């Protein structure tokens, strides 16, 4: 099942912004998240200022002791159906961080289960991103299907096959 390290989920703060900006421009992260790089720092600041106003998204910084590791967030929060999509990236590459993603997903699930508002989390993972697929599965997500050419992928500029994973809380 891999290594499990202790992480904490905390609100994203202004002093985290430069690191997140760098990660949101990192081709390694952009490709696997299926997103475009943020254009400039001003757009990045607008994104940060909008975080607390969004009801359909909730972002958390991932911390291990004093090291800021990455971001995990809920997207497409649907309280009527009690479900949300989960997205995650570990941006830092310092030290042995095996299991950090799994630990962050586990911490997020514990937090959400205690709140009792959501009953299911799901994720779309690019079929070529084996590491992410293992991370979600090691955190208790089950493969619910393979969606052939289901998502337009920015890095390849074509529709790609994704793994659909889900977890009941």
End-to-end distance of the chain based on CA atoms, in angstroms?
A: 20
Among residues 10, 109, 124, which one has the least CA distance to residue 59?
10
Q: How many residues does the chain have?
A: 169
Phi, psi (rounded to 5 degrees) for 119: -110, -20
User: Taking the model in full, what pTM does it have?
Assistant: 0.91
User: What is the reported pLDDT for 86?
Assistant: 97
Domains of the chain by start residue, with CATH: 8-168 (3.40.630.30)
What is the pLDDT tens value at each position of the chain, 169 positions in all? 445 689 999 999 999 999 999 999 998 888 888 777 888 999 999 999 998 899 999 999 999 988 999 999 999 999 999 999 999 999 987 777 889 999 999 999 999 999 999 999 999 998 889 999 999 999 999 999 998 888 887 767 778 888 899 999 9
């Amino acid at each position: 099942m891999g290594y499990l390290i202790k992480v904490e989920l905390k609100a994203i703060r202004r002093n985290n912004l430069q690191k997140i900006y760098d990660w949101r421009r990192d081709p390694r992260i952009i490709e696997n998240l299926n997103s475009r790089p943020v254009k400039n720092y001003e757009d990045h600041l607008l994104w940060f200022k909008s975080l607390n106003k969004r009801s359909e998204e909730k972002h958390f910084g991932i911390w291990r002791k004093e090291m800021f590791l990455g971001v995990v967030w809920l997207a497409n929060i649907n309280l009527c159906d009690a479900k949300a999509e989960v997205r995650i990236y570990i941006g830092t590459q310092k030290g042995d961080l095996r299991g950090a993603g799994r630990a962050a997903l586990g911490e997020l699930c514990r937090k959400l289960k205690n709140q009792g508002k959501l009953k299911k989390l799901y994720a779309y993972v690019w079929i070529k991103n084996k590491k992410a697929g293992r991370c979600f599965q090691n955190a208790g997500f089950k493969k619910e299907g393979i969606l052939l050419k289901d998502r337009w992928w920015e890095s390849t500029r074509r529709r790609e096959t994704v793994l659909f994973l889900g977890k009941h809380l």
